[in-house]
Amino acid sequence: MNLKEVDVLFTAEEIREKVKELGNKISADYEGESLLVVGILKGAFVFMADLIREIDIPMEIDFMSVSSYGTSSETSGEVRIMKDLDFSIEGKNVLVIEDIVDTGLTLNYISKILKQRGCSSVKICCLLDKPSRRRSPVIPDYIGYTIPDNFVVGYGLDYSGRYRNYPAVCILKPSVYNND
């Protein structure tokens, strides 16, 4: 990664500590129960991989791929399921893992679909929450960090497929995405 293109918002060490804290809270909240953890691809895969290792209760995992961005830095507003769940969620406690909650349109759509499929509960865990851009009534149940309205990359988050592998969360400088 070209460090001239970004400013570090949260270091890898800060993220490790926050993920451990979230895992402990989720474990306590679901003590004595089992959980189906659903990661939203592609952005949440890094966060989810670290988070599930910090959750100390029985769990299953599955993934969905949902898009509302395309290759732009702005949401299109249209939500499309690109990959659906492999397993039935009927009667299960579902925890949706998302990298960032921005407008909330995607998670609002996903939550409604999951509830229609008969799960016992649906909760949302995100690493990053950007409430200033919210366009739907979604409020995550577990939040790593609340951030201002900046375009962020790293730790699974990308811009046009780049930056996912960086271990920190960084603010992408506008000069990078305004030149595309």
In a structure prediction context, what are the per-residue pLDDT tens digits for the chain, which is 180 residues long? 566 888 999 999 999 999 999 999 999 999 999 999 999 999 999 999 999 999 999 999 999 998 775 555 555 567 788 999 998 999 999 999 999 999 898 899 999 999 999 999 999 999 999 999 999 989 999 999 999 999 999 999 999 889 999 999 999 988 787 765
Query: What CATH fold (topology level) applies to the domain 13-148?
Result: Rossmann fold (3.40.50)
What stretches of the chain show up as alpha helix (H) in DSSP?
A: 12-29, 45-52, 105-116, 174-177
Here the tokens at position 25 are 């809270």
Inter-residue contact 18 to 168 (CB < 8 Å): no
Q: Which residues are known to be catalytic?
A: 102
Domain map (residue ranges) of the chain:
13-148
The pTM is what?
A: 0.90
Nearest alpha-carbon partner for 10 in 96, 103, 101, 127 = 127
Nearest alpha-carbon partner for 68 in 60, 76, 57, 59 = 76
Packing angle, helices 45-52 and 12-29, rounded to 10: 60
